[in-house]
Amino acid sequence: MKCNTFNGLHGRSLPLATGAKLVNPELVVIAEGGDGDMYGEGGNHFIQAARKNTNITLLAHNNQVYGLTKGQASPTSEPGFTTKVQTEGVKISMLDPLTTALSLNAGFVARSFSGDIEHLSWVIQQAIQHRGFSLVDILMPCISFNKLNTFKWYKSRIYKLEDEHWDTSNKAAAYTRAEEWGEKIPIGIFYKAERPPYEDLISALKGKPLIDREYNPQRVSKLFNEFI
């Protein structure tokens, strides 16, 4: 992708993206990272970004394992999943990004699959066009370190919400469907609702982007009276 890029810290791309978007709302801002980034290390940032509803798209590459550190459990690893660290298998419950985002009132909650380029491209497009925070959880195999959730594993379970004329405005239904994880796994846009993006609610941002405004030091002289 040819774009302006700031490759920041593990787990921290959402606050970085938030800062950039607020000072120049004219930028299209995409934050991306893996399941360890977004749901583990940066879990608090994920919560805040969903609540804040800044017009940012989050692409979370979710392969249910830590790959770069050679195969430890991630927040989305399945209970029982064994690794060289989780030698007796994962003993804690899976973090579900979709129901988490829904509970935080996120306005665009979707999942797609890296094995279906056409579907994934469509969902990403929709996410970027949505005004407000949008989550695209992208299921993808890790061919090196996840021998459980393989391409075949996903392929045999995944089905598309769009095929059943899914109503994206029903939050309760979205929540119930998002909990479906097992023999069948739904992908698609689970929930979509318009609410004003955070930046629209800030009076100081009405008008030109902050970075296009004029500043001069002499302006503070009008504040001196407060201190006299």
Q: How far is the CB of 31 from another protein (least distance, A)?
A: 10
Q: Would you count residue 169 as binding another protein (CB under 8 A)?
A: no
Asked whether the beta carbons of 164 and 137 are under 8 A apart, the reply is: no
The structure tokens listed for 218 are 């002499």
Q: Would you count residue 48 as binding another protein (CB under 8 A)?
A: yes
Q: How far is the CB of 165 from another protein (least distance, A)?
A: 38
Closest to another protein by CB, 5 or 93: 5
b or e along 89-120 (b: 16 or more beta carbons within 10 Å of the residue's beta carbon)? ebeeebbbbbbbbbebebbbbbbbbbebeebb
Q: Coil, strand, or helix at residue 187? A: strand
Piece of the chain touching another protein by CB under 8 A; list 59-67, 82-90, 176-184, 200-208: 200-208
Q: Would you count residue 47 as binding another protein (CB under 8 A)?
A: yes
Q: Would you count residue 5 as binding another protein (CB under 8 A)?
A: yes
Q: Which of 7, 68, 87, 91 binds another protein (CB under 8 A)?
A: 7
Q: Would you count residue 15 as binding another protein (CB under 8 A)?
A: yes
Residues in binding contact with another protein, number by CB under 8 A: 44
Q: How far is the CB of 72 from another protein (least distance, A)?
A: 20
Q: How far is the CB of 11 from another protein (least distance, A)?
A: 9
Q: Give strand ranges (E) for 47-151.
A: 56-62, 108-113, 134-139
The binding track of 84-123 with respect to another protein, each residue x by CB under 8 A or -, is ----------------------------------------
Q: Would you count residue 32 as binding another protein (CB under 8 A)?
A: no
Q: Would you count residue 224 as binding another protein (CB under 8 A)?
A: yes
Asked whether the beta carbons of 109 and 102 are under 8 A apart, the reply is: yes
Q: How far is the CB of 9 from another protein (least distance, A)?
A: 5
Alpha-carbon distances, residue 227 vs 74, 215, 220 (angstroms): 54, 22, 12
b or e along 7-37 (b: 16 or more beta carbons within 10 Å of the residue's beta carbon)? eeeebebbbbbbebbbeebebebbbbbbbbb
b or e along 179-214 (b: 16 or more beta carbons within 10 Å of the residue's beta carbon)? eeeeeebbbbbbbbeeeebbbeeeeeeeeeeeeeee
Q: Would you count residue 228 as binding another protein (CB under 8 A)?
A: yes
Q: How far is the CB of 29 from another protein (least distance, A)?
A: 9
